[in-house]
Each structure stands twice: as C-alpha cells, then as structure tokens.
A and B are shown apart, each in its own frame.
Chain A
Amino acid sequence: MASNAVRRRLQTGISSILILAYFVFSLFPILWMIVVSLKRQSEIFTTRFIFSPTLDNYMTVLFGQNVAGGTGAIRTDFGGSFINSLIISVTAVLISLVVGVPAAYALARFDFKGKNDLAFTFLSLRFAPELLVIIPLFIIYHKLGLYNTYTGLIWVYQLICMPLIIWVVRGYFEDIPPELEYAAQVDGYSWWHVFFKVLLPLVSPGIAAASLLAFIFAWNNFVFAMLLGGAQTNTVTVSALSFLAAEQARYGEMAAASVIAALPEVLLALGIQKYLIRGLSFGAVKG
C-alpha cells in the first residue's frame, strides 16, 4: 500500500520535472525577448537578468526617433507597419465573415449538387503552397494595379481566412438542430429574421473563435505581405525582418519590435483557448 503512494508521488515528481523542462524551452525565448527589449544599448551584451529597464527601445521602434542614441538609426516605420497589419488583418477577417458565414450555413443545411466538391475545394485552399498562387498573382496584380495596395492584400488574405471561417462555423451550424429553425418559421418569422436573430447568436462563439484564429493567421502572414505588398503596405512581419538587414544590428530595438509584433496575438490566444482545437484542426477534432 505504502509503495503505491510512493510510486504515485514519484510519478508526479518526474512528470512535473518533465513538464517544467518543456515549458522552460517553450517560454524562455519569449521572456528573454522581453528582457532584451527593455535593456539599454550599453547593457545588451551582458547576460544579467537584473538590470535597470528602459522603454527607449520601444520609443525608437514605435516613433522612429533615435531616442536610444548611438549610430545607425533604422529608418523603418514600424508604427506604420503595425497600423497596416491592423487594417489589413481586420478588414480581411470581416470580409471573410461576410462571405464565409452564409457559405458555412449553406454547406451545413442544404444538400445540393456539388456540395462535397465545393467543401473540399474550400478546404484545399489551405493546403495550397502560397508561392504557387503568389507568382501569377504578382503578374496579375501589377497589371491590375493592385500591387502594394490594401485592397490587393485583403483579397489575397481571403485565401487564409475564408477556409478557416467556413469550416469552423459550419461545424457550429451543424450542431444546431434544424427543428429550431422550423419552429421559428412555423411561428411566422421570415427566413431572414430567423437567420439573424436566432441562428447567428447561437453560433456566435464559433464565429468569435474563427474570427480570432483567422485574425491571428492573417497577422502572422509573411509571404503575401512581402511579395504582393510594398513600402506603403508593409506589415509588421515584413517590417520586423528589415531590422535584421540594417547595417548596425540594433538588438534592443529588434527585440522591442518582436514583442510589439507578437503581443496582440498572444493576448488574443488567451481568449480563444476553449474553441481553439476545433479551429486549428478545421473541425476534425471537436474542442
């Protein structure tokens, strides 16, 4: 009897150590980044964890002033990139919602010719290599004048956001019994009324989760922004990389830029924990 309890204690102990080991690996880089971003230029090359923090790097990065002093100020408009990312990602997600939620409903409820093919086509967009689409789009965009425009990027971002929204929200629609709709319709409500006042509130957790995930993936995107965007439509991901290309590597500012770039989504992730699994696996696994 006693040995069983000891054994379990040992098991808990070992598994705790293993868990901690993994999470040190997992979280240390993020924490270290924050530390570096708060360090003065003079202290950057030390490995002290106790130091006097400064917000200079953030000021330089966000407002482009060379607050920190030293040589080789970087001329990137990171604050502008942040706003670009925000505009593009939010608009892309909104459009995907407007287009995708009805499509999800149709896929969930109706049974029409070509339904499964259509569904699979939506899904396969996610598996398409980005560069495959980018190269012809590059040519097309130049012809149409969509290169380096918000519109152009928002359009391409549909490739990322729409499949996600359709597949996640479809699952949530399928969870609602059809009888609910008929009951409302029998009561005399029009189909539109049912859709907007009854169904949408019911799937709103799914919509929220899918939107957040779509936003995160749109925010994180690099290739589309780099190749189809230009100087005016720089997103945060492209901008961050240009820090490395600068002559004098300003590590503190690089770190600050990374923290600013990563922060929104890390915080958002906390909000969608519950619905995450379904979204990430395209409904293959119920959360």
Chain B
Amino acid sequence: MSNHADPTIPLNMPATPRKVNRWRKWRPYLIIAPAFLLTIGIMYPFLTAVWYSFTNYSLTRPTFEFIAFKNYRIILQDPSFWNAVSVTVRYALGAVAVEMLLGLGIALLLNQEHWLAKALRYVLIFPLMISPVIGTLIWKLMMSPSVGILNYYLSKIGIKDFPWAASQKTAMMSVVLVDVWIFTPFVGLLLLAGLRSLPRAPYEAATLDGGSAWFTFKTLTLPMLMPYMMVCLMFRLIDSLKMFDIIYAMTGGGPGDSLMNFSLQAYFNGFLYLNLAYGLAYMIILWLIVYIISQVLSAYWGKAQKRAVGQ
C-alpha cells in the first residue's frame, strides 16, 4: 500500500492503515492559507506599485493617466538618477567590503580558545541589535562638533574640526562607518558559526604534513568557509543597496546630494515632491537590481557549497 498518491502524507511515511478523513486532502493548503493570504496582501501593493510606475500618478494631480515607459525614460536621462547610482554603489561596495574583511578577521580572532575570545563572543552582537536609526543617532552625537567625543580625541592627535557628515567629502565615509559598526557583527557571528562547524580532520592532516598557517588558511579554511561568506555577502549587499534608515537619520540625503541613494530618491520623489509614480520607478529599478543580484549570488552560493564539501 503506497501513500504517494496522497500529497498530504509525507513521502517517507510508512504505509499504515488509517481512518480515511476527507478533510485531510486539503490540509496542507488550509494550513498554509493564512500565510499565503498575507503574502497576497503584500503582492497586491507590489503589483500596484509596478502599475503605478507606468502612470504619472502624483498627489498634486487629481487624475492620472497611463504613460507607459515615460517615467523610466525620464529617469535614465536624469542626472539625479546617475548620481543615485553612484552613491548607492559606492555605499554598498564600501560598507560590504569593510564588513566582510573586518567580520572575517574578528571571526578568526574569536575562534581561539583563550578566555578573552570566549568571553567577548557574547558581546559581539550588541551593535547589531540596535536599531539603525538609534545607532546613527549615537554616532551623530559622537560626531557632533560641540558635544562629540570623536573630535575631542582627534584634536589630541592633531586633526582639528573633522567635519564628518557635514562635508560632502567625508559624509559617505561617516555613514559607511555607522553601517560597518552595526553590521560587522552580523558577518562576524555568521562566519564564527561557520568556523566552529568546520570539520577537524583536514586540519589535523595538514598539521601532520606541515605547512604554514597561511597555507592552511588559503587551501582549507577559505574554501570551506565560502558558502557562509556567500550568505553574508548576499544579505549585506542587498541590504546596503536598499539602505534608507542610516542615511536619512544622518543627513537626510545631504549635504547637497552626496548621499542620495536609490531609496532616498524614491522617498524624496514620492513623499516630498509628491510624484509617487516617479518615486516608484526608482524602487522598481532597485528591486530589479536586488532580484538579479540575489539570483546570481544564490547560484554562486550553491556552487560554493558543492566545492566546500568536495574538499
């Protein structure tokens, strides 16, 4: 007696005589229905968003009409758009690069067995739990020219009046700094978990065969850690491309438009200039980019997993 014809019975379940329950056939669908409905509830706004981006919907106009790709054509010729591209990419690359390196470093450091490393593992997570807005507030206070502690210490080593987020030149690094502060623990924790789950056998073999620490790192640790690094990369890259909270809290997009990334442009266009459709066009483009990246990185992650096991 096989149960495979009945999709409600898990595949590996032994064939046992059971009471026939007509209701059972619908069970998985019923169970999942609430979650599914919620998802529909989210998909609906999303689809509306796509639709609106093809119109000139604006809160300043009483009616709106379908204008197809006009919004997109305007955007691609808008210098603000290309500025947004530059800002978004620089922010994401800067933040992610530093977080991955720093995170890997701290994971390696905390993977050791001495008391300091073991104790501080528990404290690693604190910045990550703080809301990005609150975290930015904290750093904004530290960077403040009047009350801030940072400039106080900087002046002691000869750097006077560092402008932090007030100057176009240093604003980017200021927000990236906050991002790094909050999210390095994410990378660190993930990679630490990964390190601690690596098999011992290859390492023992390597110590028998001799070989420098760098060599074991390069040929053993790194490839086996790759799947974890891909997960980190995917999450951090996508999140930093979308980042809104930190930049908005820090300078609201300024000074000038030096920090106007995609999300901020969408916010400005949608809520300040009230040109909702145009703002949506920005977000659709961002979403497309994020979608493509998540697909590409997922594929790489799959490959990295295979390589790690094949090692």
Residues in chain A within 8 A of chain B (CB atoms):
12, 15-16, 18-20, 22-23, 25-27, 29-30, 32-33, 36, 44-45, 47, 98-100, 102-103, 105-107, 109-113, 118, 121-122, 124-125, 127-133, 135-140, 155, 158-159, 162, 166, 178, 182, 185-186, 216, 219-223, 227, 236-237, 240-241, 243-244, 251, 254-255, 258, 261-262, 265-266, 268-270, 273, 276-277, 280-281, 284-287
The secondary-structure label for the interface of chain A is: helix
A12 to chain B, nearest CB (A): 6
Chain A residues with Cβ under 8 A from B249's Cβ?
A: 222, 241
> Closest Cβ of chain B: how far from A3's Cβ, in Å?
15
Q: Once the chains are docked, how many angstroms separate the CA of A58 from the CA of B24? A: 57
Interchain CB contact under 8 A, B39 and A122: yes
Chain B residue, CB-CB nearest to A32: B149
Q: Are A132 and B46 in contact (CB under 8 A)?
A: yes
The residue in B131, B144, B181, B245 that gathers the most chain A C-beta atoms within 10 A of its C-beta is B131
Contact in complex: B42, A125 (CB < 8 Å): yes
Interface assignment of B308: CB less than 8 Å from any CB of chain A? no
Contact A129 B286 (CB under 8 A): yes
B34 and A102: CB pair below 8 A? yes
Contact in complex: A222, B245 (CB < 8 Å): yes
The verdict on B73 contacting chain A, using a C-beta distance below 8 Å, is no
Given contacts A113-B7, A136-B46, A182-B13, contact A268 B129 (CB under 8 A): yes
Complexed CA–CA distance, A128 and B45 (Å): 12
Inter-subunit contact A129/B242 (CB<8 Å): yes
Q: Check if B7 sits within 8 Å of A285, measured CB to CB.
A: no
- A178–B9 Cα distance when bound, in Å, is 11
Q: Is B214 an interface residue (CB 8 A)?
A: no
Check: B194 CB closer than 8 A to any chain A CB.
yes
CA–CA, A203 to B135, complex, Å? 33
A224 to B150 Cα, complex, angstroms: 32
Report the minimum CB–CB distance from A173 to chain B (whole Å): 11
Interface pick from B79-87, B216-224, B276-284: B276-284
Question: Which A residues are in CB contact (< 8 Å) with B291?
Answer: 124, 127
Chain B residue with Cβ nearest A140: B45
Contacts of A44 in B (CB 8 A): 147
Hey, which chain B residues are within 8 Å of A112, CB to CB? 7-8, 28-29
Check if A16 sits within 8 Å of B114, measured CB to CB.
yes
B147 adjacent to A45 (CB under 8 Å): yes
CB distance from B25 to the nearest CB of A (A): 10
Q: Is B63 an interface residue (CB 8 A)?
A: no
| B263 CB-CB contact with A under 8 Å | yes
- Interface residue B244 (Cβ < 8 Å from any Cβ of A): yes
Known pairs A19-B117, A135-B52, A281-B231; A155 contacts B137 (CB<8 A): no
Check: B132 CB closer than 8 A to any chain A CB.
yes
Partner among B149, B194, B244 whose Cβ is within 8 Å of the Cβ of A131: B244
With both beta carbons as reference points, the residue of chain A lying nearest to B263 in the complex is identified as: A131
Cα of A222 to Cα of B284 in the assembled complex, Å: 21
Shortest beta-carbon distance from A267 to chain B in Å: 9
Known A-B contacts A106-B28, A127-B238; the reply to A186 vs B16 at CB < 8 A is yes
A23's nearest neighbour on chain B, judged by CB, is: B120
**Contact present for B181 and A25 (CB under 8 Å):** yes
Residues of B within 8 A of A20 (CB): 116
Say whether, besides A131-B279, A135-B52, A18 and B11 are in contact (CB < 8 Å): no
